[in-house]
Amino acid sequence: MSFDLDISVALGGTRIATTFSAGPGLTALFGPSGAGKTTILNMAAGLVRPDSGRIAIAGETLFDTAADIDRPPEARRAGYVFQDGRLFPHRRVRANLLYGEALADPAQRWITLDEVTDFLGIAHLLDRWPRTLSGGEAQRVAIGRALLSAPRFLLMDEPLSSLDAARREEIMLVIERVRDTLGLPILYVSHDRAEVERLATTIIAIG
């Protein structure tokens, strides 16, 4: 299984829990805002510690209370793509991408800067500042930075929600290429049914 989660956490008086297993491809956590989808993503990344349960991704156990396993975030090798891109405004596109590469153990790197820029069509953006990018361009750079961190899996938190219709289509095509060509397991958060029905291999209802 690409994703095998059975976790529970109490945050701010609300208990967020989910149990699911999903095979290869893109697994979408689908549900309304505030249902806990991003918290589940953050538990998979190691940014939020579950109160109990187990997380196994791509055949590796990352968290298990019974076995006293809790891999730190940097050891989980998750590539995280946020809703707003979160590019460093003081670094040009090339430096933003290379920041992702610097996070990876050289022995674990499986894609180069040239390969990423070619795959995502962003070579012409390398000398640009983030403030000059369109929303779609910024998200392609954010995806490239995540890929250069040599991830074993990707976490995507509503990467289309801040984009207009044309840019949404552009990034959906990119996500489909990542899903189908690179074969990385993807855990994807959205509250848009049409979006998840197009992109997802498996849909998990949350909330």
Mean pLDDT of 153-171: 92
Q: Which residues pair with 203 in a beta bridge?
A: 28
CA distance 144 to 161: 18
* Residues contacting 121, CB < 8 A, separation 6+: 140
pLDDT in tens, 114-156: 999 999 999 999 999 999 999 999 999 999 999 999 999 999 9
pLDDT for the residue 50: 97
Closest CA to 163 of 147, 142, 182: 142
Give yes or no for residue 65 having a pLDDT over 90: yes
- Please check whether residue 18 is in contact with residue 187, taking contact to mean a CB–CB distance below 8 angstroms: no
Mean pLDDT of 102-122: 92
Mean pLDDT of the chain: 94
Give yes or no for residue 85 having a pLDDT over 80: no
- Please check whether residue 102 is in contact with residue 149, taking contact to mean a CB–CB distance below 8 angstroms: no
- Apex 190 CA angle, 188 and 193, nearest 5: 120
Q: Tell me the domains of the chain and their CATH numbers.
A: 3-205 (3.40.50.300)
CA distance 65 to 21: 18
Closest CA to 17 of 63, 51, 68: 51
Percent of the chain with pLDDT strictly greater than 70: 100
Global confidence as pTM: 0.94
